[in-house]
């Protein structure tokens, strides 16, 4: 089988890398088309995945600009398809893949876990064959059941952080002078995606105060999506130089993770690490985790709520030192499945049944 996968976010590299490796071992081949992003390119190169770089995300925001960007993505997928001639298209919520597959009369299977990305849903739904969503996904993509939406009993982030594939490399921490439980990971995002538009986030001044309040008792590993933020002295002293593919080793040993990004929040969760999500933009995974694991998950949108969550995490850690980390990760995996195995089996079964 020949599979074309569209990658539009660094997390998508992780979602598919184990699937790609396992399928290649069985003789299947891949064409990876990815958004022109420094981080995406670095990750694909780090994992030895050959890829074709397409158009970059536009700086200017707006619906018209987004639609022009979509057309550019479709054009690149079609160009790659002419040479590779895929049997199947895949991606994470990828409208370009779905549209291109329809034009070439080939099936498309997408992964999805972002409820609030309604525009993207409208774009790919007329063209996609199957959409695999996790069990906590709060949205029925079609009003009437049609067999297109398939649910799996797993978190998306377990595609690469399940214990079947990931264990923390302590040498990464040693190389950065980090001691488990004595540092925190903080992630501030750029909010450049279409679904981030018109969402009010906390101010840069608030972020600086939060970082300063933690710096007196923790070492801070700061991740910044906006390059301009890295020029600010309040942030620059907390930046560390490490390969981006090592971030999960660092997260696994953190006292907690404070992030504006939903992906990093859920990554921390499946690793058993407490997280504080600092954004009003929620999703099904965060809501489910907050409801069922209130001692590990904190959804906040104000400075005061952040400080309250930090205090709770510190008090819980002191009273129950073995609650977080490997024990909590094992607890989470005991009630979920290995999603990579699920996707692999589903794709092979679907293609066998629908091979033209």
What digits encode the pLDDT tens for the residues 148-183?
999 999 999 999 999 999 999 999 999 999 999 999
Note down the domain range covering 224.
170-334
Q: How confident is the model at residue 196 (pLDDT cuts 50, 70, 90)?
A: very low
Whether residues 53 and 196 share a domain: the answer is no
Q: pLDDT tens digit string along 29-78? A: 999 999 999 999 999 999 999 999 999 888 777 778 878 888 999 999 99
pLDDT value at position 348?
97
Same domain, 118 and 182: no
Which pLDDT tens digit goes with each residue over 227-251?
777 788 888 889 899 998 999 999 9
Residue 323 inside a domain? The answer is yes
Q: What is the pLDDT of the chain when averaged over all its residues? A: 93
Q: Are 73 and 177 in a shared domain?
A: no
pLDDT at 194: 46
Same domain for 270 and 304, yes or no, is yes
Residues 298 and 342 in one domain: no
Average pLDDT over residues 105-121: 93
Over residues 203-223, the pLDDT tens digits come to 889 999 999 999 999 999 998
Q: Within a domain: residue 289?
A: yes
Number of separate domains in the chain = 2
Does a structural domain hold residue 163?
no
CATH label of the domain that carries residue 320: 3.40.50.2000
Is residue 83 situated within a structural domain?
yes
Task: Give the per-residue pLDDT at 227.
Answer: 72
Strand order in the sheet with 256-259: 219-224, 183-188, 256-259, 275-278, 297-300
Q: Same domain for 133 and 217? A: no
99-124 average pLDDT score:
94
Q: Return the percentage of the chain with pLDDT > 70, whole number.
A: 97
Same domain for 149 and 204, yes or no, is no
162, part of any domain: no
Q: Judge whether residue 192 has pLDDT over 60.
A: no
């Amino acid at each position: 089988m020949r599979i074309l996968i569209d990658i539009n976010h660094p997390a998508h590299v992780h979602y598919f890398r184990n699937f790609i490796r396992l399928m290649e071992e069985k003789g299947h081949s891949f064409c990876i088309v990815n958004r022109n992003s420094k981080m995406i390119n670095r990750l694909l190169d780090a994992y030895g995945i050959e890829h074709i770089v397409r158009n970059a995300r536009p700086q200017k925001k707006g619906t018209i600009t987004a639609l022009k960007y979509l057309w550019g993505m479709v054009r690149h997928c079609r160009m790659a398809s002419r040479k590779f001639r895929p049997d199947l298209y895949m991606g994470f919520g990828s409208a370009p893949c779905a549209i291109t597959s329809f034009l070439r009369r080939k099936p498309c299977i997408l992964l999805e876990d972002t409820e609030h990305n309604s525009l993207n849903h409208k774009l790919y739904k007329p063209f996609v064959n199957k959409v695999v969503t996790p069990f906590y996904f709060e949205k029925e993509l079609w009003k009437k059941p049609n067999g297109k939406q398939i649910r799996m009993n797993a978190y998306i982030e377990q595609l690469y952080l399940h214990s079947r594939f990931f264990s923390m490399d302590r040498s990464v921490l040693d190389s950065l002078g980090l001691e488990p439980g004595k540092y925190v990971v903080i992630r501030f995002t750029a909010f450049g995606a279409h679904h981030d538009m018109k969402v009010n986030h906390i101010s840069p001044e608030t972020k600086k105060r939060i970082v300063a309040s933690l710096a007196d008792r923790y070492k801070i590993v700061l991740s910044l999506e906006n390059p301009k933020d890295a020029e600010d002295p309040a942030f620059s002293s907390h930046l560390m130089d490490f390969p981006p593919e090592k971030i999960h080793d660092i997260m696994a040993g953190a006292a907690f993770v404070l992030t504006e990004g939903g992906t990093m929040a859920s990554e921390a969760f499946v690793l058993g690490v407490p997280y504080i999500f600092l954004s009003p933009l929620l999703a099904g995974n965060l809501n489910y985790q907050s409801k069922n694991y209130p001692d590990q998950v904190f959804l906040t949108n104000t400075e005061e709520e952040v400080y309250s969550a930090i205090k709770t995490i510190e008090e819980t850690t002191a009273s129950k030192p073995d609650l977080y980390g490997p024990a909590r990760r094992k607890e989470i995996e005991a009630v979920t499945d290995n999603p990579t195995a699920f996707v692999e089996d589903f794709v092979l079964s679907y293609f066998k049944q629908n091979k033209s």
